Homo-oligomer: A and B are copies of this chain.
Amino acid sequence: MKLKYYPYILKLKDQFTISVSSRTTTHAVMIEVQHNGLTGYGEASLPPYLSEDQSSVIGFLNKINLDSFNDPANINSMLDYVDSIAEGNNAAKAAVDIALHDLLGKFLDIPLHKYLGIHRRDDIYSSFTIGISDLKKIKQKVDAASGFKFLKVKLGAENDREIITTIRELTGKPLFIDVNQGWVDRYFALDTISWLAEKNVILIEQPLAKEKIEDTRWLVERSSLPIIADEAVQELSDLEKFKDVYSGVNIKLMKTGGIRQAYKMMIRAKELNLKIMLGCMAETSCAITAASHLAALADWVDLDGAELISNDLFKGMEMKCGALIIPNLPGLGVEKIIK
């Protein structure tokens, strides 16, 4: 089995501003695992607030030698081996995990969701993200999202209430609010949440800094809306650590290290009665499609990452009126559109 990779820069359609940063690209590393004429595709997406970058991913991938593996169905041994190479490097591991799942599905001739025992559904709706922006731009984005049933709004700006008031003049659709640790004070957070709760807001993602565990616990006890961990919970061990703090968790392949770990986290979150959001980075349709096969296990889905970029490399999961059209083809069901 052979592993190939190449760096790739995702061009964002719009400058993307969240409470802590602003940018127009996201770095990525694309990988391909080849075996007997079959190719499995994978991807590591590397937003700047994570610790990995293109060189760390490439450094990690260079340590992998799949020469001794000859059975795509032996995926767990391969993933165990990759895991054992080094701690962390979850985005790099996710890239390999995604490619190996794609290869496995093609080898077994079954779609990924079927391999995972997940029933394919057509009534799963993704939110569409409205970044922090000037009010005129926000109006344009709400218009552009008119087919979506849920909007995800980035707050933690200086004019949070003005942003929401502007959006509410345009649409009554349910909102996910993502603060990206942008609120400093727990009383301010609780007051803002109470205000938002009257405005058809469904959930609040990462309102306070991930280190503020006791403040978050205080907030969750008093909040009428579920508080979802994003930055605070990367992988399964974090879930155990914070299971009594947050109401739910945003699971992303790049954080968990891929599909195998994301699936385990979703099952564990259900056992713990935690709400599950399935999220993403800006990613091509390769990683987004991989995540979409897990979507039926989530309470809320935010898989608009490929909609945010202008240079997608793949055709895969598509959206119709905000609903995921999950491929029913072997593996991920993606097709490379730019060679």
Contacts and interface: CB of A to CB of B under 8 A. Distances in A.
A321 interface: yes
A91 to B, nearest CB: 32
B172 A121 contact: yes
Interface string A115-139: 0000001110000000000000000
A149 interface: yes
Interface string A172-204: 111000000000000000000000000010000
A175 to B, nearest CB: 10
A224 B170 CA distance: 37
A102 to B, nearest CB: 25
A159 interface: no
Contact of A320 (B121, B147, B172): B147
Interface size class of A (residues with CB under 8 A): 10 to 19
A279 interface: no
Contacts of A322: 321
Interface string A312-339: 0000000011100000000000000000
Contacts of A170: 122
A170 B123 CA distance: 11
Looking at chain A's contact residues, is the secondary structure mostly helix, strand, loop, or mixed? Answer: loop
A171 interface: yes
A237 interface: no
A273 interface: no
Contact of A122 (B172, B320, B321): B172
Contacts of A76: none
A65 interface: no
A146 interface: yes
A172 B120 CA distance: 9
Contacts of A171: 122-123
A149 B149 contact: yes
A138 B170 CA distance: 36
Nearest to A325: B146
Interface of A: 121-123, 146-147, 149, 170-174, 200, 320-322
Given A123-B200, A146-B320, 5 more contacts: A122-B146, A122-B172, A123-B149, A147-B321, A149-B321
20 contacts: A121-B172, A122-B146, A122-B170, A122-B171, A122-B172, A122-B173, A123-B149, A123-B171, A123-B172, A123-B173, A123-B174, A123-B200, A146-B320, A146-B321, A147-B320, A147-B321, A149-B149, A149-B321, A321-B321, A321-B322
